[in-house]
Amino acid sequence: MIFEKNEIRLPEKQLVLLHKGWGKEVSENTITTGIKYLSDELEVDGYISKPIDLREKLPVIIWNRGGNRNSGRIDDFLASGILGEIASWGYVVISSNYRVNDEFGGKDIKDILNLFEIIDDLPEADNSRIGMEGWSRGGMMMYLCLTKTERIKCAVAVSALSNLERTLLINPSLKKYVSELTKDYNKEKTESFIRSRSAIEFYKDICKDTPILFIHGNADEKVSYLDSVELYERIRKLNSDTDYKLEIIENGDHYLSRNKEMVKEFRRNWFNKYLKY
């Protein structure tokens, strides 16, 4: 339940940067609000973005951020740009920054799942049409959510982590963070921690009716593009009647920073296909 809302008004300098990064129409046509809500009786902050000109109930997209702890958290500026851009496509967009005591795919999954209660109370939201998008660690969170709900009508995974064991071998900063989280674990419990956050291990539990678009750059230095390739191949073989699509971006880095327009079109077309009917 939301207990605090604050409409975001960016200072002029940030507005200029937002216009350069996402376009002037995003700030002119959308409104973003910071929220605080309860999840497991914990105070969690997040954001809601929507078009200013609302004439009907709109489909909803839950956007899952990457990173861990403060790294990757979205602030007022990023929320206005990232979420505002999606809202400008004709969606209500909601996102969580996750709880302070981050578990990297543990109980913090509830911080996303509890957004459904908020969506159900939003008068501008069509709660029968909900999509989800996750970037990097946010993709891992999305895969976990897809094992616990059938309400997600379609999903987009961008540079998404599905094999934590492999990612720890190529991402030193994440390895350090996970080592801190598991410092008191024995070998068996540590291995269980890694498996439980790797969709390549639990893909059979992912909702079989949710179409997923996988997008990954083959020059990703933080999460191997093989995470998307291997999960796509396994889940497509398991659920041959469900629409899955894989887009590998040649020379694309983790953030796909040189491929923004292409990636934007892939994402928007996928959401429009399944949420605007």
User: What residue numbers bound the domain in which 171 lies?
Assistant: 2-275
If one counts the domains in the chain, the total is: 1
What is the domain-level CATH number for residue 22? 3.40.50.1820
Per-position pLDDT tens, the chain of length 277: 899 999 999 999 999 999 999 999 999 999 999 999 999 999 999 999 999 998 899 999 999 999 988 889 999 999 999 999 999 999 999 999 999 999 999 999 999 999 999 999 999 999 999 999 999 999 999 999 999 999 999 999 999 999 999 999 999 999 999 999 999 999 999 999 999 999 999 999 999 999 999 999 999 999 999 999 999 999 999 999 999 999 999 999 999 999 999 999 999 999 999 999 7
Structure tokens at 104: 């990297």
Residue pair 152/130 in contact by the 8 Å Cβ criterion? yes
Q: Which two tokens stand for residue 25?
A: 């129409």
For the purposes of burial, counting CB atoms within 10 Å of the CB of 128, is it exposed (0-12), middle (13-18) or buried (19 or more)?
exposed
Instruction: Name residues whose C-beta falls within 8 Å of residue 150's C-beta, 6 or more positions apart in sequence.
Output: 207, 209, 210
3-state secondary structure the chain: CEEEEEECCCCHHHHHHHHHHHCHHHHHHEEEEEEEEEECCEEEEEEEEEECCCCCCEEEEEEECCCECCECCCCHHHHHHHHHHHHCCCCEEEEECCCCCCCCCCCCHHHHHCHHHHHHHCCCEEEEEEEEEEECHHHHHHHHHCCCCCCEEEEEEECCCCCHHHHHHHCHHHHHHHHHHCCCCCHHHHHHHHHHCCHHHHHHHCCCCCCEEEEEECCCCCCCCHHHHHHHHHHHHHCCCCCEEEEEECCCCCCCCCCHHHHHHHHHHHHHHHHCC
**How far is it, in rounded angstroms, from Cα 11 to Cα 25?**
17
Rounded CA separation 124/140 (Å): 28
Residue 155: the pLDDT is 98
Q: Record the pTM.
A: 0.97
Q: Determine the angle formed by the axes of helices 172-181 and 187-196, rounding to 10 degrees.
A: 120
The answer to whether the beta carbons of residues 93 and 63 sit under 8 Å apart is yes
Q: What is the spatial distance between Cα 250 and Cα 264, in angstroms, rounded to a whole number?
A: 16
Distance CA 244, CA 214 (A): 8
